[in-house]
Amino acid sequence: MPSLTKRIVFYLFAAIILYTSWLMLLLSLPYTSLGRYVDFLITKQLVYHIRHWRLSFYVHVFTSITVLITGLLQFSNYLLKKFPGLHRRSGKIYVLVVLAFSGPSGLILGFYANGGLPARVSFVLLASLWLLTTFLGWRYAIQRKWRLHTGMMVRSYALTLSAISLRFYALLIGTFNIPIRPVPAYILISWLSWTLNLLIAEAIIRWGLGYLKGAFPADHPSSQNDHRL
C-alpha cells in the first residue's frame, strides 16, 4: 500500500476513533450524577448494591476516554518521529490507566456481566487479555524490543476498541432488525466485539505496519541505564 494511502487510512481511522470517543464521553456524562437508575444501570439493579461492582463500574466508565485517546496517539508515525517524548508520555498514561484502573475494573465487571455464563466468560477473557497484552507491550518497551512492543500494543488497543465495536454491533442488530432475541444477541456481540478486533490486529501486525519501519532504532536488550517507555 503506498505511503500516502496508508496516511489517509490512518487519518480516517483516527477521525472515526475521535468521533466515537466523543460519543462515548456523551454517554458517560449522565453517570456523573452517581444515580442508581441511569441508562445501563437500570439493568444492574441486582448487583448495584455491591460496593466493589459499583466502584468498578464508575472507574471503568470514567477512564474509557483516556485509554481511547492515549492509545490512538501511540500509532501516529508523525508523533513518533517528531515528538517521541509525547509518544512515551501518552504510552505511560495508557499503560498506567489500563493496568491500574480500566483493566482491573473491567475484569470485575466481567464476572457480573449480563447474558449469563457465556457473556461472562467472554468479558473475563477480554479483560484478562487486555491486561496481559498491555503489560507485555510495556515490558517489551522497557527491554527495547520494539517490534514485539509494537505488535503487542496493536493487540492491546484492538481490545480497547471492543468498547466501541460492541456498541457498533448492537446498533447494527437494531438498525437492520436482525431477528435474534436480546440475550443471544448480547452473547453474540460480547464475543464479536473483541475476537474480530484481534483478528484484524493480527492482520495489521503481519501486513500493515510497514509505515512504522525506521521509526524505532534497532531492537536491542535494555540496559540498567535506559528503562524508558
The predicted-structure confidence for 16-40, as pLDDT tens digits, reads as follows: 888 988 988 888 999 998 889 998 8
Interior/surface letters 126-146, b for 16+ CB within 10 angstroms, e for the rest? bbebbbebbbbbbbbbebbbb
Structural domain total, the chain: 1
Query: Is 223 inside any structural domain?
Result: no
Kindly state whether residue 220 falls inside one of the protein's structural domains: no
| Residue-by-residue DSSP string for 138-178 | HHHHHTT-HHHHHHHHHHHHHHHTHHHHHHHHHHHHHHTT-
Residue 205 covered by a domain: yes
pLDDT digits (tens, 9 = 90+) for 82-127: 888 888 899 999 999 999 999 999 999 999 999 999 999 999 999 9
Is residue 70 in some structural domain? yes
| Closest CA relative to residue 147, chosen from 59, 52, 212 | 212
223 confidence band (pLDDT: 50, 70, 90): very low
Mean pLDDT of the 8-21 span: 85
pLDDT of 47: 93
Per-residue confidence band for 226, with pLDDT thresholds at 50, 70 and 90 = very low
Residue 29 lies in a domain: yes
Q: Residue 102: what pLDDT?
A: 96
Does residue 226 lie in a domain region? no
CA distances in angstroms from 208 to 2, 112, 200, 205, listed in the order given: 11, 37, 10, 6
Q: How far is 48 from 131, CA to CA, in rounded Å?
A: 25
What average pLDDT does the structure give for the chain?
87
- Distance, CA of 110 to CA of 124 (rounded, Å): 5
Higher pLDDT: 98 or 209? It is 98
- Whether residue 10 has pLDDT greater than 90: no
Q: Report if residue 108 sits inside a domain.
A: yes
Q: Which residue has the higher pLDDT, 191 or 25?
A: 191
Q: For cell 484502573, what's the residue?
A: 101
Section 149-178 average pLDDT: 92
Question: What tens digit of pLDDT does each residue of 125-158 get?
Answer: 999 999 999 999 999 999 999 889 999 999 999 9
User: Is residue 173 one of the residues assigned to a domain?
Assistant: yes
Residue 160's domain comprises: 3-212
For residue range 41-92, list pLDDT tens digits in order.
Answer: 999 999 999 999 999 999 999 998 999 999 998 888 778 888 888 888 999 9
Number of CB atoms found within 10 A of residue 110's CB: 20
- pLDDT reading at 227 higher than 60: no
